[in-house]
Amino acid sequence: MKSYASSAEIRSYLKAVTCHYEIDRYISLRSAVTRTVWSETESKWTVSVQNQGDFDCEILVNACGILNNVQYPRVKDLDLFQGPLLHTAAWDDNVDLSGKRVAIIGAGASAIQTLPAIAETVERCDVYIRTPSWISPPFGTDKPGNFTYTEEEKQRFRDDPDFSLSTRKAMETSFNNLYSASVKGSEEQVALRNALEKSMKALIRDPELHDKLIPKFEVGCRRVNPGERYLTALQLPNVHPVFEPIDSVTPEGVVCGGQLREVDAIITATGFDTSFRPRFPIIGRNGRDLRDLWRDDPVGYFGLAVSGFPNYLVFLGPNTPISNGSLMGTLEATVEYFIRLFKKFMHEKAVSFDIREEVQADFDAHTQDTMKQMVWTGPCRSWFKSEDGKVRALWPGSSLHYREVLESNRWEDFKWGYRGNRFAHWGLGRATVEFESEKTRDLAYYFEKHKPLPLEAYYLAAIGNDARVAIGDSFRKSGEGGEEGKVVLEDDDEDTLVNTPEVVGI
């Protein structure tokens, strides 16, 4: 078990989760959705699945993800290359890279993870770096690199839930602490930049490489990567960082600066189509296709709904906290919000919900305004931004802020549709508790344990509560030109409060 779990480990865990909770029986694998259409008259979605037909549902949740539609680089004649052409997210385990000459195109999170994994086994590796990334020490731990947990540590995680929780909390806290540094020019941004510059310089031996590998833009403008092993690997004798743009690809290799560098395999670490445009038609109200609506400018509500697309929910739509911290916590918060929404929908026997247009417009305007102050609108190229410079991938706040906003439900942001009277589901007006088992239900659940009032309260009530003032308080007797003075203790009472008829009416 490594500190950064491998894809195989994550996959095996997720498979075990689906089996343990018996949700595997609800999952239909190899079922590509090809089209979804909203019916206004029936208030339902029809989902077409390749080779399987059409299925209806009241609520459609799109969980197609944003980082899985692989994008190859726009490089001339890439398709002419005769050797294996891999993408980091379309990997072929049958390709053996050991002892081979390899090219990696890209310098984002995927390239940064790939290079150290292959550098020592390949004969030669050329790494094409168009824009460098900020590299940080590992997040959430003091230990270096991708360390392996000892048997003792693993046993302690199993046996000691407090230890397990505090370890996980420490990691999450370190992510959640980073948000302040995302504000342009903030103290935290300056401190982080200085710290990373120092740690990167310490790891890069050749001062000429400092200029090429240490970014000029703000930390976080594009994703910060915990990848010190990448910097070390880049300096191995068989690894060659290349900073010139690629001219073209030939059957034998990559042409750069007019020179052919022959390779046996090319790994493209060039990311994903992150345009938010759905890959299949999503036809909402008035026959509107979301692919057309989001062709140039994907605007939604909190990254989870779109006005004009009733009963449609989406994970990781535009402006979710996809890189404002760990995504897992965000996804869980979104799931919990969806479940609360489903419960309301079912309980109230609603038939539709649709985000109000003006709410979505306000969210968008506020988001883009806030983004001006954030490092994400800095001078870097990143998939967080659209071509017009609008930050579309991120939430205008921290992950914790997103969670807090969702926890407040904001059901007023939706237009709710009902078949008839919105209160019809009240029936004869019984509360849920009244339907619970007579043995266990509590029909006076809103009563709390008695908290007796102090005797002083009765005394105050007897003499008039307004009379309560503290010794030393200034007062003026009521009426014009009323006498001014200070409250003093007039008898032997040691209490700090005096309640005398003289001060009534101040």
Ligand X SMILES: Cc1cc2nc3c(=O)[nH]c(=O)nc-3n(C[C@H](O)[C@H](O)[C@H](O)COP(=O)(O)OP(=O)(O)OC[C@H]3O[C@@H](n4cnc5c(N)ncnc54)[C@H](O)[C@@H]3O)c2cc1C
Enumerate binding residues for ligand X (CB under 6 A).
32-33, 63-65, 67-68, 89, 110, 279-280, 315-316, 326-328
Residue 270 contact, options ligand NAP, ligand X, none, Cβ 5-8 Å cut-off depending on partner type = ligand NAP
Sign of the four-CA dihedral 157, 158, 159, 161: positive
- Residues 32-37: contacts with CB under 8 Å, at least 24 apart: 33/64, 33/280, 34/280, 35/280, 35/281, 35/283, 36/60, 36/280, 36/281, 36/282, 36/283, 37/281, 37/283
The kind and range of the H/E element at 57 are strand 53-57
**Which C-beta is closer to ligand X: that of 110 or that of 382?**
110
Distance in Å from the first CA to the final CA of the chain: 71
Q: Which of 400, 393, 454 is nearest to 179 (CA)?
A: 400
Cα–Cα distance for residue pair 239/125, rounded to 1 Å? 5
* Cα→Cα distances 374→183, 215, 316, 377, 402, Å: 5, 17, 20, 6, 16
Compute φ and ψ for 392, nearest 5 degrees: -105, -20
**Among 220, 271, 278, 318, which residue sits at the site for ligand NAP (rule: CB under 6 A)?**
271
Helix 161-176 and helix 399-407, axial crossing angle in degrees, nearest 10: 110
Strands (E) located in 371-442? 414-418
**Which C-beta is closer to ligand X: that of 28 or that of 440?**
28
**Which C-beta is closer to ligand NAP: that of 221 or that of 282?**
221
Residue 326 contact, options ligand NAP, ligand X, none, Cβ 5-8 Å cut-off depending on partner type = ligand X
Task: Output the six-digit token pair for 274.
Answer: 């992150």
**Residue 256 C-beta: closest distance to ligand NAP, Å:** 10
Compute φ and ψ for 374, nearest 5 degrees: -105, 155
**Among 146, 182, 189, 270, which residue sits at the site for ligand NAP (rule: CB under 6 A)?**
270
> Taking CB under 6 A as the criterion, which residues in 71-90 touch ligand NAP?
73-75, 88
Is 282 a binding residue for ligand NAP by CB under 6 A? The answer is no
**Which C-beta is closer to ligand X: that of 33 or that of 350?**
33
Is 269 a binding residue for ligand NAP by CB under 6 A? The answer is yes
**Residue 62 C-beta: closest distance to ligand X, Å:** 9
**Which C-beta is closer to ligand NAP: that of 35 or that of 130?**
130
Q: Which range binds ligand NAP by CB under 6 A, 35-43, 105-113, 259-267, 362-370?
A: 105-113
**Which C-beta is closer to ligand X: that of 112 or that of 256?**
112
> Taking CB under 6 A as the criterion, which residues in 202-241 touch ligand NAP?
223
Q: Which parts of this chain interact with ligand NAP (CB under 6 A)?
A: 67, 73-75, 88, 105-111, 113, 128, 130-131, 223, 246, 269-271, 323, 381, 383
